[in-house]
């Protein structure tokens, strides 16, 4: 199912975080991702303060992460289509479960795959992922397309950050102490990636419900 497990590296200064360089062949994802996005298209969600997020987003799975004027939460229905979110392809959940297991997190069973799409200039400011019901479950992320610089702070949204460059096919697993650390993505630099062209996708797998 997976292809090229090269390594599983504990990340210095970020306990519970593991970096799995080129864990997955990114082109295998493309037709599955296209099928999901045909059902629930990418969209720029609004924040409670009325700003649009610079990354376009969608979801697949039993639940999906949404943001609007009412705030952030997980919802079973896609507000754009009025339908349930597309099913999570078994290839997606399989890769997430396997990555979690490789990093030492057994029994991970994601019910959400949040899809983020960045174009040049788009990023994500420092935040924590705290909308899930149980923080004992790790989060698994897969990067696709253009590379990006990710940064992790700590329990607080200040102080020095640890940088990590994420390339297409890289997987990162966050559990344990790092699960609630502040983190973000620096604005994307322009480029031309195979198939993904001038975009970066990031898939995060979560157990939200």
Which of residues 111 and 129 has its CB atom nearest to Fe ion in the complex?
129
Q: How far apart are CA 5 and CA 76, in angstroms?
A: 33
Which of residues 68 and 131 has its CB atom nearest to Fe ion in the complex?
131
**Tokens encoding 58:** 């969608």
| Neighbour-count burial for 13-47, b at 16+ CB within 10 Å, e otherwise | ebebbbbbbbbbebeebeebbeebbeebeebebee
**Is residue 129 involved in binding Fe ion (CB under 5 A)?**
yes
Task: Tell me the per-residue interface mask from 147 to 186 with ligand MD3, x by CB under 6 A, - otherwise.
Answer: ---x---------------------x-x---xx-x-x-x-
How far from 144 is each of 85, 109, 183, CA to CA, in Å? 21, 22, 18
- Site residues (CB under 6 A) for ligand MD3, limited to 108-147: 114, 116, 124, 129, 139, 141
Rg (CA), the chain: 16
Least CB distance to Fe ion at residue 179 (A): 10
**Is residue 170 involved in binding Fe ion (CB under 5 A)?**
no
Is residue 33 within a helix (H) or strand (E), and if so which, with residue range? Answer: helix 30-39
Comparing every residue's Cβ against ligand MD3, the nearest one is: 202
- Segment near Fe ion (CB under 5 A); pick from 24-32, 44-52, 89-97, 123-131: 123-131
How far from 27 is each of 120, 176, 177, 193, CA to CA, in Å? 21, 31, 32, 11
Contacts of 82 (CB under 8 A, 6+ apart): none
**Is residue 132 involved in binding Fe ion (CB under 5 A)?**
no
Least CB distance to ligand MD3 at residue 162 (A): 11
- Where does this chain bind ligand MD3 (CB under 6 A)? 114, 116, 124, 129, 139, 141, 150, 172, 174, 178-179, 181, 183, 185, 202, 204
């Amino acid at each position: 199912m997976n292809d090229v497990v090269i390594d599983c590296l504990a990340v210095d200064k970020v306990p519970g975080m593991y970096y799995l360089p080129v864990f997955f062949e990114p082109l295998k994802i493309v037709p599955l991702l296209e099928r999901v996005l045909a059902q629930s298209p990418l969209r720029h969600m609004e924040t409670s303060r009325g700003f649009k997020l610079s990354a376009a987003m969608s979801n697949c799975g039993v639940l999906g992460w949404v943001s609007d004027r009412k705030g952030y939460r997980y919802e079973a229905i896609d507000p754009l289509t009025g339908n349930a979110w597309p099913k999570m392809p078994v290839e997606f959940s399989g890769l997430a479960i396997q990555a979690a297991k490789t990093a030492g997190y057994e029994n991970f069973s994601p019910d959400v795959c949040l899809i983020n799409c960045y174009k040049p200039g788009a990023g994500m400011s420092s935040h924590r992922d705290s909308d899930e019901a149980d923080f004992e479950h790790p989060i698994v992320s897969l990067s696709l397309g253009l590379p990006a610089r990710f940064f992790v702070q700590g329990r607080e949204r200040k102080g020095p950050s640890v940088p990590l460059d994420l390339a297409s096919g890289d997987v990162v697993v966050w559990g344990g102490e790092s699960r609630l650390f502040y983190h973000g993505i620096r604005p994307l630099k322009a480029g031309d990636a195979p198939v993904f062209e001038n975009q970066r996708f990031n898939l995060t797998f979560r157990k939200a419900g």
